Structure 1
Amino acid sequence: MNKFGIILSHTYLTRVKTKSFLITTAITILFILLAGNVQSIMHSFGGSNEQEIAVLDETGGVVPALKENLQAGEREMSLHSYEGTETEAKKDVRDGTFDGFLKITSNEDIPQGEYYSMQGNPSPVSERLQQALQPVKLSRAANNAGIDPAAVQQITSSVVFETVALQEDAKTAEEMNSARGLVYVMLFLLYLSVIMYGNMIAMDVANEKSSRVMEILVSSAPPVTQMFAKIAGIALLGLTQFGAIVVVGYIMLQSKQDQLTGGVFQYFGLQGAGAGTFIYALVFFLLGYLLYATLSATLGSLVSRTEDVNQLMAPVIYLIMIAFFIAIFGLSSPDNMLVTVTSFIPFFTPMLMFLRVTMLNVPIWEIVLSFGLIISAIIILAAAGARVYKGGVLLYGKSNSLKDVKRALQLSKKE
């Protein structure tokens, strides 16, 4: 155990002091801080978000109705009746007096608009103005045709449509949306961590072999101890990095709770999510890491040059990519048979079973079975991987083929 602790601490301390670890952690934390203060930054650089729009109403009666329709809009917009000419209004837009200029004309008593801005392309402002002008146009057209405006409103209003679940414990639409966001975050984090930390484990083993440090380590500690100490050391490194990011993110959310309510934070399930969801996320994340980390360490022991690591790590990348793509498909169809069947494949379980557990009411026996399968896979892979690692650390020379697994097993039997 003493040797295990020494290798673990050496792996952790060596990696945690590297410039790449410190820079990536700092950049991620900086990105979180910028995302949380984006509104303040935009205000400091661009002043108010309110759009100042000059309106030249040649019909003489559209502006009041237009202002009333815009009151329900999310975008802040201030309309100013313009008394000058069209040429003067365009000049004011170029000079920065107004953000845009809306010209309202009439075609057989039906209002129509032209919006002028510096960019000229369709934008959220022009689309909102068009939406606000649409009810005015419908009202005018109904009056011209002698149709009651109330009848027009009834005809154009959305149909009343509800979806009712016959299953008593079925999740609501709000719970599904919250779960969908959390699953997406979980998929993204697991995908990145497997690629980043799995490759780090394999590179660490290959680097020690290329520098002949492995020969000293083999004589001082069993290869199996080295393997699991490195997995634990890199896991501790990942927890350190994610822990720092989570702490900064939590502090920012608490300090700006009122400003960050809703929007992207609501979509990603950071509001109203139950504790059980986060427990499942943590358990599946750790199981997924252990499974892929063991496989990465095994493959890393087969190479003696860091240049060969990426080629042997390709199967790991393919597995996590397949799981990721199936899970992305499952976000819109979590009860699909493909998602259900593949959720019991150990290499896909961390993503797909978590998706199903979070978005559906999965029978408890399926959850227990998935846990049993992935834990069994980890144990089998660890036992087989330990044998391959034991012989693989003694392999030197160019190695870029999985055929070296056989050579590594043969060497491990001679030990």
Structure 2
Amino acid sequence: MNKFWIILFHTYLNKLKTKSFLITTLMTVGITLVLTNMNNIIEVFDKGGGKEKVAVLDETGQLFPPFKEQMNALNKNLQLTEFDGSEKETEKEVEEGKFAGVVQLRYDAEQLPEATYKAMTVADSSLSSDLQTGLQQMKTMLAASKINLTPAQLERLYEPVSFEKIALEENAKTEEELNQARGLVYVLLFIIYFAVIMYASMIAMEVATEKSSRVMEILISSVSPVKQMFGKILGIGLLSLTQLTVLLSVGYFSIKRNMSSLEGGFFDAFGFGDISLSTIFYAVVFFILGYFLYATLAAFLGSLVSRIEDVQQMITPMTLLVVAGFMIAMFGLGKPDSPFIVITSYIPFFTPMIMFLRVGMLNIPVWEAALGISILMATIVILALFGARVYRGGVLMYGKSNSFKDIKKALQLTKKE
């Protein structure tokens, strides 16, 4: 047993000290800090108070005041300036960078407003869309005045229809709670998805690297292949928990520090203001079980190859399973209670993401989540027993990999031992 712990901590410490691990951790910490301080960063780089300046050429002499009033209500970061010069002079101002663009206002044949927007590039669709929306609102008001509609009648006409959603199921989440849960589950699904792919692939690469350097021949003479396999799985597992602990700690303290600037908008829409303990519990459980499922699979697939360049080819089917589970989960964000999602949540290779999606967004019975976890654990045990046999023979195989036919050869070598 002592040799098992030696392998576990040797794998953990060796990977912990590698430049690739340190660089990726620092880069991810940097990205986390940027995302949680985005508002402060934008304020640093914004000039002129963050306002975009747009020149307006009013050919009618009447449309600029109501147009400016509409735009002030629609976009407070947009500064409209009436320009008295010619069209060419205005375009020159835009070319010199004094204005983001120029809007030419005029009447059409029915004496209703229309406009032309000119800018160095029309790639900024949000700006042109705001200008078009403001013009549309002004046109609606002018058209209504021509048919003698009062402002109150116009407001009543465009008032959003009342459409209340009520769930009849007992303890069902409200629409607001469901939207928050959807955003939070979306983010956590990404964490599970990328972590499983990255760390499972790391295990396969570690095994293949040792085989290619013939270190495996020395190891199997002193430590059983099964201990090697689970030592590497747990070693990389500790590594993943170390990295995630660093990232989540940095993210948590950064969010706490910038709580006032993050309130509302993205922060609240993604449910970060009120995370339930049950969601955190299930996220941890399904992350750990998902890791062990794919890590075991990756370990014995990695034992089948002798060259590092063959690793990606061998683990491609495993990667496709993770991608398939993630894509199904993305579909399930819109329909978490559909029969397709319910059925696939019990397929063990999809359970870590899809069952987590269901428990995060719906109030499903505890027995359903427990059944999914039980199926997942049983699959891990079966895969571990089978994987250990394949691993025991696979580490003795050298030469070019011939895809999954090598599993049969590995099992035959295991029987000969």
User: For residue 406 of structure 1, what is the aligned residue in structure 2?
Assistant: 408
Counterpart Cα distance in 2 of 1:37 and 1:54: 32
Q: Contact (CA 8 Å) 1:308, 1:400: kept in 2 or not?
A: no
- 5 Å-filtered alignment, 1:49-60, equals 49-60=50-61
- 5 Å-filtered alignment, 1:117-128, equals 117-120=119-122, 123-128=125-130
Counterpart Cα distance in 1 of 2:141 and 2:397: 82
Counterpart Cα distance in 2 of 1:203 and 1:95: 55
Q: Compared with structure 1, are the counterparts of its residues 83 and 315 closer, same or farther at alpha carbon in structure 2 (3 Å cutoff)? A: closer
Q: Compared with structure 1, are the counterparts of its residues 211 and 37 closer, same or farther at alpha carbon in structure 2 (3 Å cutoff)? A: same
Counterpart Cα distance in 1 of 2:179 and 2:57: 43
Q: What is the CA deviation profile of residues 243-293 of structure 1, one whole-angstrom value per residue up to 9, with x for unaligned ones? A: 222122222212222222233333433222212111111110100001110
Q: Compared with structure 1, are the counterparts of its residues 2 and 115 closer, same or farther at alpha carbon in structure 2 (3 Å cutoff)? A: same
**1:348 and 2:368 correspond:** no
SS at match of 2:105: strand
Q: What is the CA deviation profile of residues 211-233 of structure 1, one whole-angstrom value per residue up to 9, with x for unaligned ones? A: 22112211211211111110011
User: For residue 179 of structure 2, what is the aligned residue in structure 1?
Assistant: 177
Counterpart Cα distance in 2 of 1:146 and 1:178: 44
SS at match of 2:262: coil
Q: What is the CA deviation profile of residues 160-201 of structure 1, one whole-angstrom value per residue up to 9, with x for unaligned ones? A: 222221113111122222222222222222222222211111
Shift of 1:54: 2.5
Higher alpha-carbon deviation: 277-286 or 94-103: 94-103
Higher alpha-carbon deviation: 312-321 or 263-272: 263-272
- Structure 1 vs Structure 2: percent identity of aligned residues? 51
Q: Compared with structure 1, are the counterparts of its residues 407 and 98 closer, same or farther at alpha carbon in structure 2 (3 Å cutoff)? A: closer
User: For residue 73 of structure 1, what is the aligned residue in structure 2?
Assistant: 74
Q: Compared with structure 1, are the counterparts of its residues 74 and 234 closer, same or farther at alpha carbon in structure 2 (3 Å cutoff)? A: farther
Root-mean-square deviation (Å): 2.1
What residue identity is the alignment partner of 2:356?
F
Counterpart Cα distance in 1 of 2:203 and 2:76: 49
What residue identity is the alignment partner of 2:35?
A
Counterpart Cα distance in 1 of 2:170 and 2:319: 40
Counterpart Cα distance in 1 of 2:263 and 2:201: 37
- 5 Å-filtered alignment, 1:130-145, equals 130-145=132-147
Q: Compared with structure 1, are the counterparts of its residues 104 and 231 closer, same or farther at alpha carbon in structure 2 (3 Å cutoff)? A: same
Shift of 1:309: 1.8
User: For residue 362 of structure 1, what is the aligned residue in structure 2?
Assistant: 364
Shift of 1:78: 1.8
**1:105 and 2:85 correspond:** no
User: For residue 374 of structure 1, what is the aligned residue in structure 2?
Assistant: 376
Counterpart Cα distance in 2 of 1:401 and 1:81: 70
TM-score (norm 1): 0.93
- 5 Å-filtered alignment, 1:111-260, equals 111-120=113-122, 123-260=125-262
Q: Compared with structure 1, are the counterparts of its residues 243 and 400 closer, same or farther at alpha carbon in structure 2 (3 Å cutoff)? A: farther
**Alignment coverage as a number of residue pairs:** 415
User: For residue 323 of structure 2, what is the aligned residue in structure 1?
Assistant: 321
Query: Among residues 274, 283, 286, which one is paired with 1:284 in the alignment?
Result: 286
Counterpart Cα distance in 2 of 1:84 and 1:309: 67
Q: Compared with structure 1, are the counterparts of its residues 372 and 96 closer, same or farther at alpha carbon in structure 2 (3 Å cutoff)? A: same
Q: Contact (CA 8 Å) 1:312, 1:400: kept in 2 or not?
A: no
Stretches of structure 1 that go unaligned for 5 or more consecutive residues are none
Counterpart Cα distance in 1 of 2:144 and 2:132: 18
Q: Compared with structure 1, are the counterparts of its residues 308 and 120 closer, same or farther at alpha carbon in structure 2 (3 Å cutoff)? A: closer
What residue identity is the alignment partner of 1:65?
P
TM-score (norm 2): 0.92
